[in-house]
Structure 1
Amino acid sequence: MPKRTNEHRVETESNNILRELIVSVAIFRELSEKDYGVDGVIEFFNSDGSMCGAEVLVQIKGSRNVPVKKGLVKTPSIRTDTIRYWAQKKQSVFILLVDVSRRLIYFEDAKYLARVNAKKIQVQKTISFSISEGNVIDAQGNCAFRKEVFISDKFDQSKAELAKLIFGFREIYKQLIVNAGRDCFMVLDHDDPRIDLLNGMSESFQLCWYFFRVHAEMHDFYYFLKLSYEAWRCEVVEMHVTETADYLREQFHYLLLMVIARKNTYSMFWEENDRKVINRLDKDFDLMLEVAKGNVGFHNVEILNEYFL
């Protein structure tokens, strides 16, 4: 007689636990004809119960009593050709490691893992990933998971925006230097072009952070305007531009430091996707570091000029 294996029991329990834990925010649809390396789709809905259209592909790995060591859990070994396939998908793909004993789920963005482990994936047939024990879906809620899916869905935009920032960092920083650090209260027009300029930088920086899977909310001009708008009799003054530029210059330092710190981690990714970016990083690395450390200002802004021979 056929006998149900432990592996089959764990698989069924894993799917049931997933449905139970996301029931308040999403539904899980198991694929009847499973895609290669994909077990199903999670589709989110709005607070009123209507479907919002956001969905993510998932690969489910179930186990009992998943050990946690130094704040990390390890996935079972996964074939690297499967991971390369995930990376080619247009939709976001997440690995879900279900601990059926404790009824919780560890999650990680599979495409992110493919990017930061590109060198290993290129030479190995299988690989096991580490997932932070903080990346968890449990009975307490799923906000973190949905936020990570949101960031993952923004990846193409964030990649393009980060490439633009790397190529244009000199001009971006010059604009911030010119508009920061001044004590001036001259009244401005509400359509001053610098308002759109700084707001565009704020939006760009936030998208760039998404590339590194950081949800860093960026303030824009209207945030600083609101802080003292009534005090200035509902006028827009130069100080609002200065405050925004000062803030964005500091945020730009942090962003450049991340670009520098993760240069080697993402070198293989850029090699495969946009060789010009890694060439630019190599060329401008020393100057980028000086900017990130705050050693470039109004007194020596001319070193940001670029001459093509």
Structure 2
Amino acid sequence: MRFPKRTDKHIKESDSWKVLQIRTPAEWIIREVTERDYGVDAYIELVSVSGEVSGNLCSVQLKSSEKVKWEPDNTCKFSGIKKSTINYWMNLPVPVFLMFADLVKRKLYFCAVKEQVRQNYASFIDIRETFQFYFHNELEVGTDVGHVLFMWYYFKEKAFKQLTNYLRDILIHCEAYFNFILGNQGRDFFLYVDDERQLTLIHLHKCCKFLAEYLEIKWEVIDLSTAFEKDMETWKDSGCLLHENTLTEILEQLEPIFIEIIKKAKWLVTEQQKDYWENTDWPLYNVYYNLELENFKRKYW
């Protein structure tokens, strides 16, 4: 009498799911996808420790091995993923993570798919049919460090669309923004700031704060709500939201950070992720590439 046999492949798949469920935080919601042929095994909702379900969703492809071979630099590579699958991942509206389960040690590692593709875009668009991903043993689900890094990669990827918009905004208006920063410092301190300049300040502050945080530049500019409150306490003037001396204080803090943002934005687009931006957003890449920082510095700084 013959019976169906459970294959090693099915056993490993089930085992990798056990590792995933054990290593991920208990509050996270794992929604398994029944049809996995398109490269997504599950969607995970990242619920906060306090139980807040805020719609922070990511997609996951789960791989496994009984023996993970780590290189001396604490990385291991995973090859053979079809570029057609990766194209699908890149088109998804949520961050995508490739997770790799060590079935023997019961550990789970992750890499941020879209970030790695952008960092290695030349390899992604070459003639080969598959792409190679790298895992680092520090990026482990279930450890304190790994959790912080997972959330960092998640929110960084979630903000990527905004990054593109702000990179374009600050580049197009670079000269006007810097003239605003310089031209609005040191005015008669008791005069009020008109509505148009307040609107410019609010937008510029928001743009610079986002880019500074994304580009890992230390943000040491006073929060605008705090600045407005301080102004009110100083002047006791309900008819004026902002005075020139407060504007000067804000812009003096913003000036060096603005310069650093311009420099690092150019580095990101034309060096760190050169192949990605050159092939996906040529106008943005080209204008940043031709932005002569030294000439700009001599002219304005």
TM-score between the two structures when normalised by the length of structure 1: 0.77
1:250, CA displacement in angstroms?
1.6
Structure 1: state its 5+ residue gaps.
304-309
Which deviates more, 18-27 or 87-96?
18-27
Residues 265-292 of structure 1, C-alpha deviations (whole Å, 9 max, x = no match): 43433344332212212332x1x3555x
1:227, CA displacement in angstroms?
10
Q: Report the counterpart of residue 38 of structure 2 in structure 1.
A: 36
Q: Report the counterpart of residue 147 of structure 2 in structure 1.
A: 142
**Structure 2 residue identity aligned to 1:85:** Y
**Structure 1 residue identity aligned to 2:289:** D
* Equivalent residue runs for 1:122-141 within 5 Å: 122-123=125-126, 124-140=128-144
State the alpha-carbon separation in 2 of the partners of residues 193 and 105 from structure 1.
Answer: 52
Q: Report the counterpart of residue 282 of structure 1 in structure 2.
A: 289
Q: Report the counterpart of residue 307 of structure 1 in structure 2.
A: none
Q: CA RMSD in A?
A: 3.3
- State the identity %: 21
Contact 2:278 2:286 (8 Å CA) reproduced: no
* Equivalent residue runs for 1:33-72 within 5 Å: 33-66=35-68, 67=70, 69-72=72-75
For 2:102, which of 82, 93, 99 is the aligned residue? Answer: 99
1:148, CA displacement in angstroms?
2.2
State the alpha-carbon separation in 2 of the partners of residues 234 and 132 from structure 1.
Answer: 56
* Equivalent residue runs for 1:201-216 within 5 Å: 201-208=204-211, 214=216
**Structure 2 residue identity aligned to 1:244:** I
Matched pairs, number = 290
Q: Report the counterpart of residue 270 of structure 1 in structure 2.
A: 277
State the alpha-carbon separation in 2 of the partners of residues 190 and 47 from structure 1.
Answer: 43
Structure 2: state its 5+ residue gaps.
none
State the alpha-carbon separation in 1 of the partners of residues 264 and 49 from structure 2.
Answer: 35
State the alpha-carbon separation in 2 of the partners of residues 37 and 215 from structure 1.
Answer: 35
Q: Report the counterpart of residue 245 of structure 1 in structure 2.
A: 251
State the alpha-carbon separation in 1 of the partners of residues 284 and 247 from structure 2.
Answer: 31
1:46, CA displacement in angstroms?
4.3
For 2:83, which of 80, 92, 105 is the aligned residue? Answer: 80
Q: Indicate the SS of the match to 2:290.
A: helix
State the alpha-carbon separation in 2 of the partners of residues 125 and 211 from structure 1.
Answer: 32
**Structure 1 residue identity aligned to 2:61:** Q
TM-score between the two structures when normalised by the length of structure 2: 0.79
Change (3 A) 1:198 1:73: farther
1:56, CA displacement in angstroms?
0.7
Contact 1:18 1:105 (8 Å CA) reproduced: yes
1:223, CA displacement in angstroms?
6.8
Contact 1:185 1:237 (8 Å CA) reproduced: no
